[in-house]
Amino acid sequence: MLKIEIEIEKDSFIQSSVEFLKHIIQFLYKWLTTDGEALGYILGYIHFMLFVLLLLGILISHTIYTNIWLQFTIVCVIFAIWLQHIFLKVCVSIVAEKEFTNSISPFHELLETVFQISTNDFTNYFIVAETVALWCLFLELVCRYCIYLNV
Protein backbone atom coordinates (compact mmCIF):
# COMPACT_ATOMS: atom_id res chain seq x y z
CA MET A 1 0.00 0.00 0.00
CA LEU A 2 1.34 3.38 -1.02
CA LYS A 3 0.71 6.17 1.40
CA ILE A 4 1.56 9.75 0.58
CA GLU A 5 1.55 12.15 3.46
CA ILE A 6 2.15 15.86 3.13
CA GLU A 7 2.89 17.70 6.31
CA ILE A 8 2.58 21.47 6.33
CA GLU A 9 3.43 23.67 9.24
CA LYS A 10 0.03 25.37 9.11
CA ASP A 11 0.66 28.12 11.66
CA SER A 12 3.96 29.20 10.14
CA PHE A 13 2.41 29.19 6.65
CA ILE A 14 -0.49 31.34 7.85
CA GLN A 15 1.84 33.74 9.65
CA SER A 16 4.18 34.10 6.67
CA SER A 17 1.19 34.72 4.37
CA VAL A 18 -0.19 37.32 6.78
CA GLU A 19 3.19 39.07 6.99
CA PHE A 20 3.47 39.06 3.18
CA LEU A 21 -0.01 40.56 2.82
CA LYS A 22 0.71 43.18 5.49
CA HIS A 23 3.95 44.19 3.74
CA ILE A 24 2.13 44.53 0.41
CA ILE A 25 -0.56 46.76 1.94
CA GLN A 26 2.03 48.84 3.79
CA PHE A 27 4.07 49.25 0.60
CA LEU A 28 1.08 50.19 -1.58
CA TYR A 29 -0.46 52.63 0.89
CA LYS A 30 2.55 54.12 2.68
CA TRP A 31 1.96 57.33 0.72
CA LEU A 32 -1.47 57.59 2.36
CA THR A 33 -0.87 56.47 5.95
CA THR A 34 1.31 54.36 8.19
CA ASP A 35 -1.35 53.94 10.89
CA GLY A 36 -2.06 50.24 11.40
CA GLU A 37 -5.75 50.70 12.07
CA ALA A 38 -6.25 52.72 8.88
CA LEU A 39 -4.33 50.11 6.89
CA GLY A 40 -6.54 47.42 8.43
CA TYR A 41 -9.66 49.22 7.26
CA ILE A 42 -8.13 49.71 3.79
CA LEU A 43 -7.42 45.97 3.63
CA GLY A 44 -10.94 45.21 4.88
CA TYR A 45 -12.52 47.30 2.13
CA ILE A 46 -10.23 45.76 -0.50
CA HIS A 47 -11.24 42.33 0.80
CA PHE A 48 -14.93 43.25 0.52
CA MET A 49 -14.47 44.72 -2.98
CA LEU A 50 -12.71 41.54 -4.16
CA PHE A 51 -15.58 39.49 -2.71
CA VAL A 52 -18.13 41.56 -4.66
CA LEU A 53 -15.91 41.51 -7.77
CA LEU A 54 -15.81 37.70 -7.67
CA LEU A 55 -19.61 37.56 -7.43
CA LEU A 56 -19.86 39.97 -10.37
CA GLY A 57 -17.35 37.86 -12.29
CA ILE A 58 -19.56 34.80 -11.82
CA LEU A 59 -22.58 36.77 -12.99
CA ILE A 60 -20.79 38.23 -16.02
CA SER A 61 -19.26 34.88 -17.01
CA HIS A 62 -22.74 33.38 -17.19
CA THR A 63 -24.66 36.23 -18.84
CA ILE A 64 -22.61 38.74 -20.81
CA TYR A 65 -19.28 37.10 -21.60
CA THR A 66 -19.73 33.33 -21.51
CA ASN A 67 -16.27 32.40 -22.73
CA ILE A 68 -14.87 29.25 -21.15
CA TRP A 69 -11.52 30.82 -20.22
CA LEU A 70 -13.25 33.34 -17.96
CA GLN A 71 -15.31 30.64 -16.30
CA PHE A 72 -12.20 28.48 -15.85
CA THR A 73 -10.31 31.41 -14.29
CA ILE A 74 -13.14 32.07 -11.86
CA VAL A 75 -13.28 28.39 -10.87
CA CYS A 76 -9.51 28.43 -10.25
CA VAL A 77 -9.78 31.54 -8.06
CA ILE A 78 -12.69 30.09 -6.08
CA PHE A 79 -10.78 26.82 -5.70
CA ALA A 80 -7.73 28.65 -4.30
CA ILE A 81 -9.91 30.55 -1.84
CA TRP A 82 -11.76 27.35 -0.90
CA LEU A 83 -8.46 25.54 -0.27
CA GLN A 84 -7.37 28.32 2.05
CA HIS A 85 -10.65 28.28 3.98
CA ILE A 86 -10.89 24.49 4.26
CA PHE A 87 -7.29 23.46 4.91
CA LEU A 88 -6.03 26.47 6.84
CA LYS A 89 -9.41 26.99 8.54
CA VAL A 90 -8.81 30.72 8.36
CA CYS A 91 -8.88 33.59 5.89
CA VAL A 92 -5.41 35.10 5.69
CA SER A 93 -6.83 38.52 4.88
CA ILE A 94 -9.01 38.55 7.99
CA VAL A 95 -6.06 37.59 10.18
CA ALA A 96 -4.03 40.45 8.66
CA GLU A 97 -6.92 42.87 9.21
CA LYS A 98 -7.17 41.83 12.86
CA GLU A 99 -3.42 42.29 13.33
CA PHE A 100 -3.57 45.74 11.76
CA THR A 101 -6.54 46.96 13.80
CA ASN A 102 -6.00 44.94 17.01
CA SER A 103 -9.76 44.36 17.09
CA ILE A 104 -12.54 42.81 14.98
CA SER A 105 -11.92 42.53 11.27
CA PRO A 106 -13.31 45.45 9.21
CA PHE A 107 -14.48 42.87 6.65
CA HIS A 108 -16.65 41.25 9.33
CA GLU A 109 -18.00 44.67 10.33
CA LEU A 110 -18.94 45.32 6.70
CA LEU A 111 -20.65 41.94 6.39
CA GLU A 112 -22.63 42.47 9.57
CA THR A 113 -23.70 45.91 8.35
CA VAL A 114 -24.53 44.96 4.76
CA PHE A 115 -26.08 41.51 5.24
CA GLN A 116 -27.41 41.92 8.81
CA ILE A 117 -25.98 38.53 9.82
CA SER A 118 -23.55 37.57 12.55
CA THR A 119 -19.98 36.69 11.64
CA ASN A 120 -20.23 33.09 12.85
CA ASP A 121 -23.41 32.44 10.88
CA PHE A 122 -21.96 34.07 7.78
CA THR A 123 -18.79 31.98 8.00
CA ASN A 124 -20.77 28.74 8.22
CA TYR A 125 -23.09 29.72 5.37
CA PHE A 126 -20.18 30.96 3.30
CA ILE A 127 -18.20 27.70 3.54
CA VAL A 128 -21.24 25.69 2.47
CA ALA A 129 -22.12 28.12 -0.32
CA GLU A 130 -18.51 28.24 -1.50
CA THR A 131 -18.30 24.44 -1.66
CA VAL A 132 -21.60 24.11 -3.52
CA ALA A 133 -20.69 26.92 -5.93
CA LEU A 134 -17.29 25.40 -6.61
CA TRP A 135 -18.79 22.01 -7.43
CA CYS A 136 -21.53 23.49 -9.61
CA LEU A 137 -19.08 25.65 -11.55
CA PHE A 138 -16.66 22.74 -11.91
CA LEU A 139 -19.41 20.44 -13.21
CA GLU A 140 -20.46 23.16 -15.62
CA LEU A 141 -16.91 23.28 -17.01
CA VAL A 142 -16.89 19.49 -17.38
CA CYS A 143 -20.21 19.69 -19.21
CA ARG A 144 -18.95 22.41 -21.56
CA TYR A 145 -15.83 20.37 -22.28
CA CYS A 146 -17.89 17.26 -23.03
CA ILE A 147 -20.12 19.23 -25.39
CA TYR A 148 -17.00 20.60 -27.09
CA LEU A 149 -15.70 17.04 -27.62
CA ASN A 150 -18.96 15.97 -29.30
CA VAL A 151 -18.97 18.82 -31.83
pLDDT tens per residue across all 151 residues of the chain: 767 666 668 888 889 999 999 999 999 998 888 888 889 999 999 998 999 999 999 999 999 988 889 999 999 999 999 999 888 888 899 999 999 988 888 888 888 888 788 877 877 888 899 999 999 999 999 998 888 887 6
User: How far, CA to CA in Å, does 28 sit from each of 18, 20, 97?
Assistant: 15, 12, 15
Q: Go through the chain and tell me how many residues it has.
A: 151
Helices 92-101, 36-63: inter-axial angle, 10-degree rounding: 150
Q: How far apart are CA 60 and CA 149, in angstroms?
A: 25
Q: Identify the pLDDT of residue 106.
A: 86
User: How far, CA to CA in Å, does 138 sit from each of 13, 45, 80, 82?
Assistant: 27, 29, 13, 13
Cα radius of gyration (the chain): 18
Q: Identify the pLDDT of residue 54.
A: 94
142, 71 in Cβ contact below 8 A? no
